[in-house]
Structure 1
């Protein structure tokens, strides 16, 4: 019987930090007295103070309130994009690893094709070309949300597909699979009840890291001006707005930048801890 593995300090740090961030963005806007939308030009570009701990932006809006509200959107994008990438990657990897042969070759070449694509330029191009259509179809905020999730998830499923395929190839010819096959189990049961549970560990680790990558990708898109509109305070959009005021009001960039940094760092630390815990002894 294996002993419990000691929790690494970095994993503990990541867990506690991420828990504090999630608690702040979920509960903070409900209890914090300042509004994220209220405009007061007399308070424009104020430095951090007791009333406004993160200062204010050029419109006099409270930065702490906007960081907390923007965190909701940024993390929601990350989780939604992760769910899409993991679902599609698992499907592709499971089919390729289970059936093998020509289908495996075709799916893996399809995966290699996506791996070879320049993700950031293509993401920008897709949002530029289809952003207006998405807004007209689903509304200004919902449309760009769906498009950003689709773009980020659509360019980040390949590593999951390879992990799942490798796990299926490693397990499909083992003794327990031969025994289940001899009992006449159908392919769907073999995949869902016998093969997929054996690759859940690496998939969980990949999913955790994918959230951090998606948060960073959303911030990059918004920082380049092709993510969410200016009135939606995602962390990346706040950085985009702050870039012209780095000399006069550096706090406008420091706090959303720190939120991105701590969130992604915490998620990566948690992913490393899960890799150690779920990996082979």
Structure 2
């Protein structure tokens, strides 16, 4: 419209803290909205991936035997695959898929989140398995078996809660990685598609202005860097607080 034409590529000012883009949109407002989307995807992916990983790892470690062999061989197979090329391949394959009941522009966000979940649970599974292996023969586990508690009840009520501290740390550290992966996919055009803004597709959109208005590229890049560093420091802090070995 007329206002958009007037404010195209406006420099930073009191009205537009970070200026405007080539069609007159406020860069600061878009950055905040994009942050909401990027963080929402990161939290949803991390929570679901850590939940799947914790359950599979607990089952693998508690039951042992063929269940442990099957789950761990599958985990090892997935870990050996190159992550980014695999994400790009699946994103390209599912790029045009529409999800019934969702607006077309949100389908890409759900698909990307699902792909990141599918390939993001293996680390927490191996971590939980290791913790459960050290817990399954403890006295409280034997006591739970003696009073007739089911194996599933022992896993849910005793194994997972007692192994939760390292999983919380792992989840916090994973948040930054998910943000970087989602941003990389969106930057390359295989992630969340416009008109939904994310920090990744903002970088892709503003790269043509890199030499004339480099600040436009700097802002979403800085947001990704700050969030990643913040989650890494938070994870380190939680590890120091929750790991009793570091308090000795």
TM-score bracket for this pair, using the shorter chain length: over 0.9
Contact residue 55 and residue 251 of structure 1 kept, 8 A: no
- Residue 205 of structure 1 pairs with residue 169 of structure 2: yes
3-state SS of paired residue (2:97): helix
1:58-137 superposed matches below 5 A: 58-134=22-98
Contact residue 94 and residue 191 of structure 1 kept, 8 A: yes
**Gap runs ≥5 in structure 2:** none
Residue in 2 that maps onto 1:249: 213
Distance 1:40 1:109, change over 3 A: same
Residue in 2 that maps onto 1:19: none
Report how many residues are paired. 245
Contact residue 18 and residue 28 of structure 2 kept, 8 A: yes
TM-superposed deviation, 1:155:
1.3
Distance 1:45 1:193, change over 3 A: same
Moved more, 78-87 or 40-49: 40-49
Moved more, 38-47 or 91-100: 38-47
Partners of 1:121 and 1:155 lie apart in 2 by 12
Residue in 1 that maps onto 2:142: 178
**Gap runs ≥5 in structure 1:** 1-36
TM-superposed deviation, 1:230:
2.5
TM-superposed deviation, 1:121:
1.1
Contact residue 135 and residue 141 of structure 1 kept, 8 A: no
Distance 1:80 1:39, change over 3 A: farther
Q: Larger relative contact order (C-alpha < 8 A, sep ≥ 6)?
A: 1
TM-superposed deviation, 1:179:
2.2
With structure 2 as the length reference, what TM-score do the two structures score?
Answer: 0.94
Partners of 2:166 and 2:125 lie apart in 1 by 11
TM-superposed deviation, 1:243:
1.2
Partners of 1:137 and 1:108 lie apart in 2 by 36
With structure 1 as the length reference, what TM-score do the two structures score?
Answer: 0.83
TM-superposed deviation, 1:137:
6.8
RMSD after superposition:
1.7
